């Protein structure tokens, strides 16, 4: 049996599945049940400063992109940080951590960008016994209008400064949660590292309008006829988040900085992919909000089975394993030549490969009178579009052409060995191969 | 009240509640969410096989995509552009041997996209709003007579009216619709759908229907030819083939077509007498419709007796299974010989058949089954040919329904070719209309 326990910044948890700071972690009642259901840790819903709590809208907070069977593909929210009194949250965190010493309890915090505000709250959070804090520099709606959340996360200097305050007034691990609503995620990550962050977590939600009501002409969710952008999460954002995670894992300035992966983790496979890209654990929200806490059981058993199949004894065994294979385009092997091959036994003759290739790609698939589809090697650039639009998995595959043979498309003999754009004769900046 | 066990032929075998349930929609309409899920299964195939399989060439992937984006009325327009009786065809088409058989998902997983039910959703949505998505061109001053207000005639008339032709439809019955109105199992066309569809179709304008007018009695082809610029014959097959049994006159024998018509026209299903033991002779859709409805009326034992093997039945395997699922027994390779007294009831003597040297013959071996009522469903025949050349037992046509006579076209069941389906009749009517239009407008023939 694979060992799923994780040690993230010295914080132990029975598995890498944490609930992200969000509505599911807003209160003791839920967090206790989440731990009982199997979640390895929680990041408590973001706490604000002492005083009257924020207020939320009293109309809809969520909007969703659905699949045809109402599958939740993307979730948008305009909810703010916790709207419960600070004192209540701190008391609950204290009780929960005492009762669950082997689970991770992280406290998310968002207070104004003033040293005193952080100096005031951090000792009180420390007193709860929680394992660490996560700085919410990512929330893109509402709080950002007040100079917090993403408004901080979009300015690397602020990140560095506030992270520094936290390291000064708090003794346990500090995780900086990053916003994706920036142009280059490496800059805020590096700033967090300079400020002394123990880890970064990403992504927070993406600015989004999920739909417009074409009768009322209001963005949705609509509050009495008006809407605002929210934060987008769920399966739809996973590719964006994974790219950002990989950038931080690869960048020299941040390489080795622990990462908690967030964004559309719905199954064990999503988690395994994030971990392969260098994450020490993952945080989940939308899957729990869609299916309830029980969904973690699939993640735990699925990851465990896959690790057993692959011979991974612990999360460490494959953590970051895909990073060495994540590279820049310029280093991709231009001597790798593939051609699409259609398995005629599996083909159901829908013709989607043909329509896609003929109308939008390279006219490399021909259709016979009796609806048989075949690939013209002389035209096929191995773009993979046919593979992806084919409704039958593995019916069309990309087959590598052996070195020494001639690619009928280019008329060139396929060379052995690796060669990339940096040395390609068409590249004006190419460096002649030695 | 009687029961299924009551001997002989009797009305009132089932309660009104049971009858209402039995004769409800065979395929209930899809719910909105089911529509989305069903539509999502369509792969939007290139040059889709389902379209090729549709006698009316409806652009099925397009209309399903329109449904999937909540534009059911646009979807209906796509359907009705090619098949103005798309609503009825959605109910009665043997999709299992047409579009859904060709669906790539049928090929790959044995579960096709539910094209028929999706088509019904689209056309029902449009008709529920009483939208007629076509408007008539300015009148051309040309006049065409259509004889027979069945699917072929209605389709032809609508297309001609659309193009600005004035159309007069003559029909021998008191109601328009032909087989849609009189000849389809009641559970396939509930809530008076056939009549509603005709009314909706006529809202294009430019079509007059004269009921109770029979060709050969109330008018002649010569007369129509001189009064109109063109004539389209879609008179169907008005006669029924007769069985030859030794004592045909003695037995409670009736034709299945008449029985089906009675069921469709009644307002009181309980009043229709049905045998405790019913035998239907034949192997087509009419046989299945009669047998299943006999069962639904409360007959205890219903048997379809067909003289050839299962594979030769013109009723599709789906229809055969439908009959079997209702408790109808299917007997193959038997032919009726005579009826004998059997206590208070009667027994139908059936002789086994075999094919020898390409000919079907009785083997001499017989069996007996109880039979209080026997329906004959062995095909229908042309009763009016208007003096036109025939091809076998139907009016000979070439091209888009051209007959042997100048400016006379024919289509639907009365014309040669096709496979006697509603959808085929619609296609023939539509295509003849386009040929008629070109002819009367161009002056050439």
Rounded to the nearest angstrom, the gap between the alpha carbon of residue B122 and the centroid of all alpha carbons in its chain is: 21
DSSP state letter for B368: E
User: β-strand B359-370 against B345-356: which pairing, if any?
Assistant: antiparallel
Asked if the model's pLDDT at residue A104 lies above 80, the reply is yes
**Taking CA A386 as the corner, what is the angle to CA B52 and CA A245, rounded to the nearest 5 degrees?**
140
User: What is the structure's pLDDT at B396?
Assistant: 96
Asked if the model's pLDDT at residue A434 lies above 60, the reply is no
Please state the three-class secondary structure of A313-380 as a single string: CEHHHCCCCCCCCCCCHHHCCCCCCEEEEECCCCCCCCCHHHHHHHHHCCCCEEECCCCCEEECCCCC
A285 is catalytic: no
Q: Does B234 touch chain A (CB under 8 A)?
A: no
User: pLDDT for B72-88, tens place per residue?
Assistant: 999 999 999 999 999 99
Residue B275 CA to residue B10 CA, distance in Å, equals: 6
Please report residues of B whose CB lies closer than 8 A to that of A357: none
CB atoms B107 and A349 under 8 Å? yes
CB atoms A352 and B48 under 8 Å? no
pLDDT band at A27 (very low <50, low <70, confident <90, very high): very high
* Residue B37 C-alpha, separation from nearest chain A C-alpha, in angstroms: 6
Q: Which token pair is B132?
A: 């007629």
Separation in Å, CA A199 to CA A133, A174, A255, A334: 10, 7, 11, 36
Please report residues of A whose CB lies closer than 8 A to that of B39: 68
Please report residues of A whose CB lies closer than 8 A to that of B105: 348
User: pLDDT for B186-215, tens place per residue?
Assistant: 999 999 999 999 999 999 999 999 999 999
* Residue A350 C-alpha, separation from nearest chain B C-alpha, in angstroms: 5
Choosing among A215, A343, A348, A389, which should be mutated to test the B contact, i.e. which has the most B CBs within 10 A? A348
* Residue A70 C-alpha, separation from nearest chain B C-alpha, in angstroms: 9
Residue with tokens 């300079």: A194
Of B36, B46, B105, the CB nearest to A351: B46
Ordered DSSP codes for B162-202: HTT-EEEEE-SSSSS-THHHHSS-GGGS-TTHHHHHHHHHH
Please report residues of B whose CB lies closer than 8 A to that of A351: 45-48
User: What is the structure's pLDDT at B444?
Assistant: 46
- In chain A, which residue's Cα lies nearest the Cα of B108? A348
Please report residues of A whose CB lies closer than 8 A to that of B104: 348-350
* Residue A23 C-alpha, separation from nearest chain B C-alpha, in angstroms: 29
pLDDT band at B358 (very low <50, low <70, confident <90, very high): confident
The mean pLDDT value for A244-264 works out to 98
CB atoms B45 and A352 under 8 Å? yes
Ordered DSSP codes for B95-148: GGGTHHHH-HHHHHHS----HHHHHHHHHHHHHHTT-----PPPP-S-EEEEE-
* Residue B109 C-alpha, separation from nearest chain A C-alpha, in angstroms: 10
Please report residues of B whose CB lies closer than 8 A to that of A68: 36-37, 39-40, 68
Alpha helices by DSSP H, listed for B11-114, are 16-22, 32-40, 49-53, 60-68, 72-82, 86-92, 99-102, 104-109
Reference A175, options A30, A27, A11; nearest CA is A11
Interface contacts A/B by beta carbons within 8 Å: 38
Please report residues of A whose CB lies closer than 8 A to that of B110: none
Asked if the model's pLDDT at residue B394 lies above 70, the reply is yes
Reference B79, options B110, B98, B94, B57; nearest CA is B57
User: pLDDT for A326-368, tens place per residue?
Assistant: 999 999 999 999 999 999 999 999 999 999 999 999 999 999 9
Of A69, A70, A348, the CB nearest to B104: A348
- Tell whether the torsion through CA atoms of A136, A140, A143 and A147 is positive or negative: positive
Please report residues of A whose CB lies closer than 8 A to that of B49: 349, 371
- In chain B, which residue's Cα lies nearest the Cα of A353? B46
Lateral strand order in the sheet of A206-208: A62-66, A72-77, A230-233, A206-208
Choosing among B43, B60, B66, B111, which should be mutated to test the A contact, i.e. which has the most A CBs within 10 A? B43
Please report residues of A whose CB lies closer than 8 A to that of B108: 348, 392
- How many residues would you count in chain A? 434
The mean pLDDT value for B356-367 works out to 93
* Residue A69 C-alpha, separation from nearest chain B C-alpha, in angstroms: 6
Residue with tokens 């659309």: B162
Residue B155 CA to residue B179 CA, distance in Å, equals: 13
Q: Does B104 touch chain A (CB under 8 A)?
A: yes
Q: Which of A139, A353, A357, A386 is catalytic?
A: A139
Asked if the model's pLDDT at residue B1 lies above 80, the reply is no
Specify whether the CB–CB gap between A205 and A139 falls below 8 A: yes
- In chain A, which residue's Cα lies nearest the Cα of B34? A69
Rounded to the nearest angstrom, the gap between the alpha carbon of residue B18 and the centroid of all alpha carbons in its chain is: 26
CB atoms B33 and A354 under 8 Å? no
CB atoms B45 and A68 under 8 Å? no
- In chain B, which residue's Cα lies nearest the Cα of A356? B46
CB atoms A349 and B49 under 8 Å? yes
Residue A267 CA to residue A272 CA, distance in Å, equals: 9
Residues 43-62 of B with CB under 8 A from A: 43-49
- Burial label for A272, CB within 10 Å (0-12, 13-18, 19+), is buried
CB atoms A68 and B105 under 8 Å? no
Give the bridge partners for A76, in sequence order: A63, A232
* Residue A102 C-alpha, separation from nearest chain B C-alpha, in angstroms: 44
User: pLDDT for B111-144, tens place per residue?
Assistant: 999 999 999 999 999 999 999 999 999 999 999 9
Q: Does B36 touch chain A (CB under 8 A)?
A: yes
Asked if the model's pLDDT at residue A132 lies above 80, the reply is yes
The mean pLDDT value for B30-45 works out to 96
**Taking CA B408 as the corner, what is the angle to CA B405 and CA B411, rounded to the nearest 5 degrees?**
115
Please report residues of B whose CB lies closer than 8 A to that of A67: 40
Backbone phi, then psi, for B376, in 5-degree steps? -100, 130
pLDDT band at A64 (very low <50, low <70, confident <90, very high): very high
Angle separating helix axes B151-162 and B193-202, nearest 10 degrees? 20
CB atoms B105 and A69 under 8 Å? no
User: What is the structure's pLDDT at B445?
Assistant: 43
Q: Count of CB atoms within 10 A of residue B362's CB?
A: 15
The mean pLDDT value for A226-243 works out to 97
Asked if the model's pLDDT at residue B348 lies above 50, the reply is yes
- Taking every pair of C-alpha atoms in chain A, what is the biggest distance, in angstroms? 77
**Taking CA B370 as the corner, what is the angle to CA B369 and CA B372, rounded to the nearest 5 degrees?**
140
CB atoms B105 and A348 under 8 Å? yes
Of B36, B49, B107, the CB nearest to A68: B36
For chain B, give the percent of residues with pLDDT over 70. Answer: 97
For chain B, give the percent of residues with pLDDT over 90. Answer: 89
User: What is the structure's pLDDT at B345?
Assistant: 74
- In chain A, which residue's Cα lies nearest the Cα of B109? A348
Specify whether the CB–CB gap between A300 and A39 falls below 8 A: no
User: β-strand A218-220 against A211-213: which pairing, if any?
Assistant: antiparallel
CB atoms B47 and A351 under 8 Å? yes
The mean pLDDT value for B61-66 works out to 98
Looking from the CA of A133 toward its CB, the CA atoms found within 13 Å total 30
* Phi-psi map region of B384: left, alpha, beta (phi>0 left; psi -120 to 50 alpha): beta
CB atoms B104 and A349 under 8 Å? yes
User: pLDDT for B143-161, tens place per residue?
Assistant: 999 999 999 999 999 999 9
Residue A6 CA to residue A227 CA, distance in Å, equals: 41
Residue B73 CA to residue B199 CA, distance in Å, equals: 18
Residue B443 CA to residue A381 CA, distance in Å, equals: 56
* Residue B158 C-alpha, separation from nearest chain A C-alpha, in angstroms: 34
CB atoms A350 and B36 under 8 Å? no
Specify whether the CB–CB gap between B346 and B374 falls below 8 A: no
User: What is the structure's pLDDT at B251?
Assistant: 58
CB atoms B39 and A371 under 8 Å? no
CB atoms B43 and A352 under 8 Å? yes
* Residue B110 C-alpha, separation from nearest chain A C-alpha, in angstroms: 12
Asked if the model's pLDDT at residue A412 lies above 50, the reply is yes
Asked if the model's pLDDT at residue B247 lies above 70, the reply is no
Please report residues of B whose CB lies closer than 8 A to that of A66: none
């Amino acid at each position: 049996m694979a060992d799923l326990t994780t040690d993230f910044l010295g914080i132990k948890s029975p598995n890498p599945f944490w609930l992200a700071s969000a509505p599911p972690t807003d209160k003791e009642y839920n967090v206790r049940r989440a731990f009982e259901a199997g979640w390895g840790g929680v990041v408590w819903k973001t706490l604000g400063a002492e005083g009257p709590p924020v207020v939320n809208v009293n109309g809809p907070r969520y909007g969703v992109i659905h699949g045809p069977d109402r599958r939740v593909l993307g979730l948008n929210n305009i909810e703010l940080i916790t709207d419960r009194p600070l004192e209540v949250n701190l008391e609950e965190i204290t009780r929960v951590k005492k009762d669950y010493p082997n689970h991770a309890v992280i406290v998310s915090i968002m207070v104004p960008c003033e040293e005193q505000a952080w100096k005031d709250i951090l000792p009180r959070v420390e007193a709860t016994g929680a394992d660490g804090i996560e700085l919410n520099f990512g929330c893109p709606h509402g709080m950002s209008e007040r100079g917090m959340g993403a408004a901080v996360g979009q300015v690397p200097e602020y990140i560095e400064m506030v992270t520094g305050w936290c390291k000064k007034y708090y003794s346990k691990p500090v995780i900086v949660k990053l916003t994706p609503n920036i142009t280059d995620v490496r800059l805020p990550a590096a700033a967090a590292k300079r400020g002394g962050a123990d880890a970064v977590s990403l992504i927070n939600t993406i600015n989004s309008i999920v739909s417009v009501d074409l009768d009322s002409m209001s963005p949705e969710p609509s509050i009495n006829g008006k809407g605002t952008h929210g934060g987008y999460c769920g399966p739809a954002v996973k590719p964006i988040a994974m790219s950002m995670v990989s950038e931080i894992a690869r960048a020299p300035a941040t390489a080795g900085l622990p990462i908690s992966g967030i964004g559309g983790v719905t199954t064990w496979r999503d988690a395994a992919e994030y971990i392969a890209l260098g994450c020490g654990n993952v945080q989940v929200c939308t899957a729990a909000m869609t299916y309830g806490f029980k969904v973690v059981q699939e993640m735990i058993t699925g990851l465990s089975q896959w690790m057993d199949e692959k011979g991974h004894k612990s999360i460490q065994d494959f953590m970051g394993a895909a990073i060495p294979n994540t590279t820049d385009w310029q280093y991709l092997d231009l001597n790798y030549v593939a051609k699409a091959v259609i398995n005629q036994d599996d083909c159901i003759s829908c013709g989607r490969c043909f329509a896609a290739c003929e109308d939008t790609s390279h006219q490399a698939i021909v259709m016979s009178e009796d609806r048989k589809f075949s690939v013209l090697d002389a035209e096929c650039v191995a773009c993979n579009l046919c593979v992806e639009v084919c409704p039958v998995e593995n019916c069309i595959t990309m087959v590598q052409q052996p070195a020494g043979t001639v690619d009928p498309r280019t008329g060139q003999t396929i060379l052995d060995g690796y060669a990339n754009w940096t040395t390609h004769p068409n590249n004006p900046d190419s460096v002649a191969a030695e | 009240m009687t029961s299924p066990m009551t001997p002989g032929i009797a009305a009132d075998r089932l309660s009104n509640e049971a009858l209402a349930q039995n004769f409800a929609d065979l395929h209930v309409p899809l719910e909105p969410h089911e529509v989305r899920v069903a539509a999502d299964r369509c792969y939007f195939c290139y040059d889709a096989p389902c379209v090729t399989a549709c006698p009316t060439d409806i652009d099925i992937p397009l209309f399903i995509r329109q449904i999937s984006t909540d534009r059911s009325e646009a979807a209906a327009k796509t359907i009705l552009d090619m098949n103005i009786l798309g609503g009825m065809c959605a109910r009665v088409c043997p999709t299992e041997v047409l579009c859904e058989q060709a669906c790539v998902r049928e090929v790959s997983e044995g579960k096709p996209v539910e094209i028929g039910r999706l088509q019904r959703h689209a056309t029902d949505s449009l008709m529920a709003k009483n939208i007629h998505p076509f408007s008539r061109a300015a009148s051309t001053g040309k006049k065409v007579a259509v004889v027979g207000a069945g699917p072929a005639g209605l389709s032809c008339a609508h297309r001609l009216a659309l193009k600005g032709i004035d159309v007069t439809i003559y029909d021998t019955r008191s109601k328009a619709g032909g087989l849609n109105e009189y000849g389809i199992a009641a559970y396939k066309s509930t809530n008076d759908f056939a009549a509603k569809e005709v009314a909706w179709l006529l809202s294009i304008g430019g079509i007059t229907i004269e009921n109770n007018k029979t060709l050969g009695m109330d008018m002649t082809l010569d007369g129509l030819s001189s009064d109109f610029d063109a004539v389209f014959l879609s008179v169907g097959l008005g006669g029924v083939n007769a069985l030859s049994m030794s004592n045909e006159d003695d037995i409670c024998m009736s034709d299945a077509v008449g029985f089906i018509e009675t069921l469709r026209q009644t307002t009181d299903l309980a009043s229709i007498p049905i045998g405790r033991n019913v035998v239907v002779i034949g192997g087509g859709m009419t046989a299945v419709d009669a047998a299943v409805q006999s069962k639904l009326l409360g007959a205890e034992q219903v048997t379809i007796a067909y003289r050839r093997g299962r594979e030769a039945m013109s009723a599709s395997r789906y229809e055969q299974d439908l009959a079997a699922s209702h408790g109808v027994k299917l007997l193959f390779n038997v032919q009726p010989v005579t009826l004998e007294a059997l206590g208070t009831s009667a027994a139908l003597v059936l002789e086994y058949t075999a094919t020898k040297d390409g000919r079907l013959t009785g083997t001499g071996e017989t069996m007996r089954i109880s039979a209080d009522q026997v329906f004959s469903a062995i095909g229908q025949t042309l009763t009016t040919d208007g003096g036109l050349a025939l091809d076998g037992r139907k009016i000979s046509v070439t091209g888009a329904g051209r007959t042997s006579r100048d400016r006379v076209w024919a289509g639907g069941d009365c014309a040669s070719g096709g496979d006697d389906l509603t959808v085929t009749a619609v296609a023939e009517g539509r295509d003849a209309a386009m040929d008629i239009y070109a002819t009367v407008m161009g002056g050439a023939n």
